[in-house]
Amino acid sequence: MRLFIVLILSAGLLACGPEKEIDPTIDWTVDEFYRRAKAELAAGNYLTAIEYYETLESRFPFGNYATQAQIDVAYAYFKFDEPDSAVTAIDRFIKLHPRHPSVDYAYYLKGLVNFERGGTALDFLSERDKATFDRQLILTAYNDFRLLLQRFPDSKYATDASKRMIYLRDQLARADYNAAAYYASRDAWVAVLGRTRFILANYQGSSVIRQALELQLQAYENLEMEELARDTRRILDLNYPDRS
């Protein structure tokens, strides 16, 4: 009888042993999972953090830890340079928790993810020209930040979002100007007029207004639209008297 009990205990130990070797987290509590995931994230071990956050939610799908893991894993994906996965996680969090106290952060993070696609966190402080990128990416990030400001105007992230929107608006204007300059290089002056008129109507105050007016003047002159050329020349002389 004693031998039989020993055999049962031995079998039990053998059954448990390999499982623990395969998954060292098998006995972790939800608190330990979250602490470990947060520590890995802070250490820059983003892939490990992602694995811990996702396992946490899988094993403990209810409660505050699971909810926090859903937004933390989005940030981990963002830092791991997986923007599509980050946006998917953010959209899921917003859908599941539209009234969560941190939902404004989720909207801000989504804008940040799209803002930094293909770049680095310090790009908007440097001379890097996003206007050479896909215009739709610039517009997507701009609209993300605009949605944050519309829904949460008093958010602590509103100030930074506003600064980024100003920057992105200027980049949109530059992207349109680049397109207009390309049309000019092809002598497509009607297309130049369409694009420069759009810039002047939608991006007043941007850094390319003078260039857009000068390109528009060239278009009017090449199309022999003398009256409109005179009007544009007058606007340029009035606003930029130092121009040669």
Q: What is the pLDDT of residues 188-229, one digit of tens each?
A: 999 999 999 999 999 999 999 999 999 999 999 999 999 999
- Flag whether pLDDT at 44 surpasses 70: yes
Residue 139 lies in a domain: no
For the full predicted model, state whether its pTM sits above 0.85: no
Residue 76 lies in a domain: yes
45 vs 80, 144, 171, CA distance in Å? 9, 28, 33
97-119 burial, b at 16+ Cβ within 10 Å, e below that, comes to eeebeebbbbbbbbbbbbbbbee
Residue 81 has a CB neighbour count (10 Å cut-off) of: 12
The Cα 187–Cα 183 span in angstroms is 6
- Structural domain containing residue 51: 27-95
CB 55 within 8 A of CB 33: yes
The Cα 98–Cα 191 span in angstroms is 44
- Flag whether pLDDT at 126 surpasses 80: no
Residue 61 lies in a domain: yes
The Cα 106–Cα 163 span in angstroms is 18
Residue 227 lies in a domain: no
The CA dihedral of 72, 77, 81, 83, to the nearest 10 degrees, is: -100
Mean predicted confidence (pLDDT) in 116-122: 57
Residue 45 lies in a domain: yes
Residue 53 lies in a domain: yes
The Cα 74–Cα 82 span in angstroms is 9
The Cα 13–Cα 60 span in angstroms is 26
Residue 232 lies in a domain: no
Mean predicted confidence (pLDDT) in 41-49: 97
Query: Quick one: pLDDT at residue 161?
Result: 97
CATH of the domain at 36: 1.25.40.10
Average pLDDT, the chain: 87
The pLDDT-based confidence of 136 (bands split at 50, 70, 90) is confident
Residue 243 lies in a domain: no
Overall domain count for the chain:
1
